[in-house]
Amino acid sequence: MKKYRWGIIGTGRIAHTFAEALKGCEDAELLAVASRSKPKAEAFAREFGFERAYGSYSELACDTDIDAVYIATPMSSHYGDVLLCLENGRNVLCEKSAALNTAQLDEMLALAKSKGLFFMEAMWMKCRPTYLKALEWVRDGRIGQVRYIKADFCNLVQYDAADRLFDPACGGGALLDLAVYPLTLARDFIGDPKEIISAAHIGRDGVDLSNSIMLKTDSAFAAVNSGFEIPNRNRAVIVGDEGSVLFGEWFFCSCEVSLLDRDGCEVERSEIPNEINGYEYEIREVHSCLGAGLDESRLVPHSSTRSVMQIMDKCRRDWGMTYEGEEL
């Protein structure tokens, strides 16, 4: 069995979750981890069994033994960290949202293409069996023509000025952190919108605390809400003229999805428990793509990532919400 050697940049919460999944994948080798603090990298390496620990991102990016790098830094750092890895010949899986804006993303994609390297946004939802089953049902015409989508991702998060979620210097705000999930789902099932209508509650630090977005095409529309100000069950429903698809709570990581008829009666149900923690599916997708010599994922193509980024750019332009040094 071919093993793919991984490096991780960043040692925060999401890096821990990803490393747990890596440990459970037989064809993954935990090779290297990097932090700006060498002691933190060494502690992370001991915890998960990484062979090498680096005290700088550049040291890891220059490690030619690495097959793929997972970037788990704050969103405002993605741009520089991705370019660093690509410039040094590393394939990249970058945590969502992959960039702050489309201009940054386009630079990443252009560099990856020029170097012949693999690049993928870590939109793990799109690799999960539950999500793929929903796509299969819709593409097979099981609910007819899609007409309406409702998807929410809202958490009640206590304000903390030091938390990256509220810090514009870290790319904070609900849009890039939460709305990227329901927007990705909506775009996958109704296509690129012709009209985008949105509103946001901008907090004291200049980032959105809550937002509401409507996407409209010629034949369907989607209503998306996200934010840090209210708790929610975070379901998603895709409604067609002959039936609907209903995800379980926390739709983006739900292991349950139901196919309903026109009267709302369940006619089929898919329930597939995680094998590890759910991140194993995107890891396997990266391995599959690298093994096939692909420079982009079939499940998370560049076009999808870019389209969603363009939607988020439009929303922020309308809200007058920009990050330092940015022109939208």
In a domain, 293, yes or no: no
Q: Both 264 and 138 in a single domain?
A: yes
Q: Both 148 and 258 in a single domain?
A: yes
Q: Would you place residue 327 in the very low, low, confident or very high pLDDT band (cuts 50, 70, 90)?
A: confident
Q: Both 174 and 205 in a single domain?
A: yes
Q: Would you list the DSSP string of 262-320?
A: TTS-EEEEEE---SSSSTHHHHHHHHHHHHTT-SS-SSS-HHHHHHHHHHHHHHHHHHT
In a domain, 25, yes or no: yes
Terminal CA-CA length for the chain: 46
Tens digit of each residue's pLDDT (9 = 90 or more) over 305-316: 999 999 999 999
Range of the domain at 145: 126-273
Alpha carbons 32 and 49: distance in angstroms, whole number: 9
In a domain, 21, yes or no: yes
pTM above 0.85, yes or no: yes
Among the candidates 122, 157, 175, a domain finishes at 122
Q: Both 260 and 174 in a single domain?
A: yes
Q: Would you place residue 153 in the very low, low, confident or very high pLDDT band (cuts 50, 70, 90)?
A: very high
In a domain, 261, yes or no: yes
Task: Please count the structural domains in the chain.
Answer: 2
Tens digit of each residue's pLDDT (9 = 90 or more) over 216-240: 999 999 999 999 999 999 999 999 9
Say if residue 20 is exposed, middle or buried (CB neighbours under 10 Å; 0-12, 13-18, 19+): middle
Strands (DSSP E) found in 157-301:
195-202, 208-216, 221-227, 236-240, 243-247, 256-261, 266-271
In a domain, 17, yes or no: yes
**CB hemisphere CA count around 53 (13 angstroms):** 17
Q: Both 145 and 133 in a single domain?
A: yes
In a domain, 188, yes or no: yes
Q: Both 108 and 171 in a single domain?
A: no
Q: Which residues contact 48 (CB under 8 A, 6 or more apart)?
A: 16, 19, 20, 22, 23, 30, 33
Among the candidates 256, 273, 290, a domain finishes at 273
In a domain, 82, yes or no: yes
Q: Both 61 and 131 in a single domain?
A: no
Tens digit of each residue's pLDDT (9 = 90 or more) over 54-107: 999 999 999 999 999 999 999 999 999 999 999 999 999 999 999 999 999 999
Cis status of the peptide bond prior to 198, with omega within 30 of 0: no
Q: Both 201 and 148 in a single domain?
A: yes
Q: Both 250 and 138 in a single domain?
A: yes
In a domain, 291, yes or no: no
Alpha carbons 70 and 327: distance in angstroms, whole number: 27
CATH number at residue 93: 3.40.50.720
Q: Both 96 and 153 in a single domain?
A: no
